[in-house]
């Protein structure tokens, strides 16, 4: 995707105001900026309307949180065959999909609207087998979960769940290698990237906001909506609502990457904070383990799971440190599918890569208000597959 300037805007309704900021800065530049927006009371007096004292803010009151620029690129799942495909401009809204499938997913195409309101059609990419299905999304419809399965280094099946209905599965599911990306309520899938040849070899997603925090499905802000649009918004039960503090459920489970086999490892309680990571690696990732703190404040250790080869590295995260980007590659070792390399980026530094990079990359960059809080996967004598838990908060 080419680099370009991406504008952002936060039009605020008359009964709300900006009450604070958050962001990220490094060196001589401001890298990201976001705002806190609070709704005023219906009985607000003149003095309160001119400004809101942050000291009076209660954490129990609803407050909007507008995160950094989107879209975010996550994936891909699958093999390294075929050639790459991607969007040409940063996507803002997914409008349609065309999936051709039989015993597997033969091809995929889609259309989207970019940040400037221009429409684009991408693909189809892949072969001509199977039967085509075109999904035209309604104006208020958005994709909130995308899942499927991988078989023999290509995409075997796909399922698309929106706020209105579920489409698919297309192709034939192979439960040995499932992948899934469920999304918070105010976030949706807005585009795709991947690899394709005679079949769909790999697929990844772009995620963005379901809609602008103060904009309805037609693009009008609260200050310029007429009575008809207001009535439509009030009766449209399927329209995504802007998320408020405390409304979103975490953690969410994303993955897995890798086609290896083995015994499952997973958390025993929902994780809240990642404390440490243990990686044993040489040419590939031999074993993996981690410790975390659950929602009740209790500490747990999972693994290490895998073999004994390679050298052991233990990453002990600082109290204010959190994982903001998790990436790696998958490939093969002595004919077996494995997780070949891993790299962990926190707000304080970069760890790795561990192992040796191979040809199929995966990546999970996260919004500034989210972090990796745990892992799950498959391991035998090697690490065969890995996925992550993403939490909606970061350490203070």
Please indicate, yes or no, whether residues 23 and 90 belong to a single structural domain of this protein: no
pLDDT of residue 269: 92
Question: Which residue from 372, 375, 377 is spatially nearest to 394, judged by alpha carbons?
Answer: 372
Classified as helix, coil or strand, 48 is helix
Residue that is written with structure tokens 């991988």 in the block: 150
- CB atoms closer than 10 angstroms to residue 163: 18
Quickly list H helices, the chain: 46-49, 227-235
* 5 inside domain: no
Same domain, 77 and 53: no
Residues of the chain with pLDDT below 50 are 1-7, 9, 11-13, 39-68, 212-248
Q: Tell me, what's the pLDDT at 345?
A: 94
Do 56 and 103 belong together in one domain? Answer: no
pTM given for the model: 0.54
Cis amide leading into 143 (omega within 30): no
Residues 325 and 351 in one domain: yes
Identify the pLDDT of residue 360. Answer: 82
Q: With 0-12 CB in 10 A as exposed, 13-18 as middle and 19+ as buried, what is 136?
A: exposed
In a domain, 9, yes or no: no
**Residue 165's CATH number:** 2.100.10.30
At 101, which helix (H) or strand (E)? strand 91-101
Statement to judge: residues 120 and 135 lie in one domain: yes
pLDDT of res. 327: 92
Are 217 and 299 contained in the same domain?
no
Q: Tell me what pLDDT residue 161 has.
A: 93
224-270 per-position pLDDT tens digit: 333 443 343 333 333 322 222 333 456 888 878 887 788 999 999 99
Both 189 and 218 in a single domain?
no
Give me the number of domains the chain comprises.
Answer: 3
Q: What is the structure's pLDDT at 115?
A: 86
Three-state SS letters, 272-335: EEEEEEEEEECCCEEEEEEEEEECCCCEEEEEEEECCCCEEEEEECCCCCCEEEEEEEEEEECC
Segment 313-327, tens digit of pLDDT: 999 999 999 999 999
- Residue 246 forms part of a structural domain: no
Q: Are residues 219 and 198 in the same domain?
A: no
Residue numbers of the domain that contains 54? 16-69+211-235
Residues 225 and 319 in one domain: no
Query: Does residue 277 fall inside a structural domain?
Result: yes
Q: Which residues contact 47 (CB under 8 A, 6 or more apart)?
A: none
Q: How far is CA 330 from CA 181, 261, 333, 334, 363, in A?
A: 18, 13, 10, 13, 11
* pLDDT number for residue 59: 36
Determine the pLDDT at residue 34: 62
């Amino acid at each position: 995707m080419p680099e370009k300037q991406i504008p952002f805007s936060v039009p605020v309704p008359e009964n709300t105001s900006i009450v604070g900021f958050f962001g990220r800065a490094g060196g001589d530049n401001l890298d990201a900026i976001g705002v806190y927006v609070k709704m005023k009371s219906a009985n607000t007096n003149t003095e309160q309307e001119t400004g809101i004292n942050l000291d009076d803010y209660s954490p129990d009151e609803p407050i909007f949180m507008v995160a950094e620029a989107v879209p975010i690129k996550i994936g891909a799942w699958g093999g390294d065959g075929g050639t790459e495909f991607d969007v040409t401009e940063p996507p803002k809204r997914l409008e349609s999909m065309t999936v051709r499938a039989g015993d597997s997913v033969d091809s995929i195409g889609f259309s989207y609207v970019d940040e400037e309101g221009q429409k684009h059609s991408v693909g189809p990419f892949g072969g001509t087998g199977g039967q085509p299905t075109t999904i035209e999304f309604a104006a208020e419809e958005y994709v909130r979960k995308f899942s499927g399965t991988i078989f023999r280094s290509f995409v075997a099946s796909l399922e698309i769940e929106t706020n209105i209905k579920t489409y698919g599965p297309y192709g034939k599911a192979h439960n040995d290698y499932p992948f899934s990306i469920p999304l918070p309520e105010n976030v949706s899938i807005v585009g795709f990237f991947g690899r394709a040849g005679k079949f769909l070899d790999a697929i990844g997603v772009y995620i963005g906001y379901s809609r602008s925090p103060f904009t309805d499905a037609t693009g009008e802000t609260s200050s310029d909506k007429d009575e008809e649009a207001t009535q439509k918004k009030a009766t449209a039960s399927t329209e995504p609502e802007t998320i408020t503090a405390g409304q979103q459920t975490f953690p969410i489970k994303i993955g897995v990457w890798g086609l290896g086999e083995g015994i499952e490892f997973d958390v025993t309680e929902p994780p809240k904070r990642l404390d440490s990571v243990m990686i044993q690696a040489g040419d590939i990732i031999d074993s993996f383990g981690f410790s975390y703190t659950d929602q009740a404040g209790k500490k747990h250790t999972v693994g290490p799971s895998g073999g004994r080869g390679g050298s052991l590295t233990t990453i002990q995260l600082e109290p204010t440190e959190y994982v903001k980007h998790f990436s790696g590659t998958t490939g093969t070792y002595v004919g077996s599918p494995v997780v070949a390399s891993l790299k962990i980026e926190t707000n304080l530094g970069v760890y790795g890569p561990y192992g040796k990079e191979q040809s199929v990359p995966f990546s999970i960059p996260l919004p500034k208000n989210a972090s990796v809080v745990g892992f799950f996967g498959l391991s035998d004598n090697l690490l065969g597959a890995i996925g992550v838990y993403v939490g909606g908060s970061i350490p203070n």
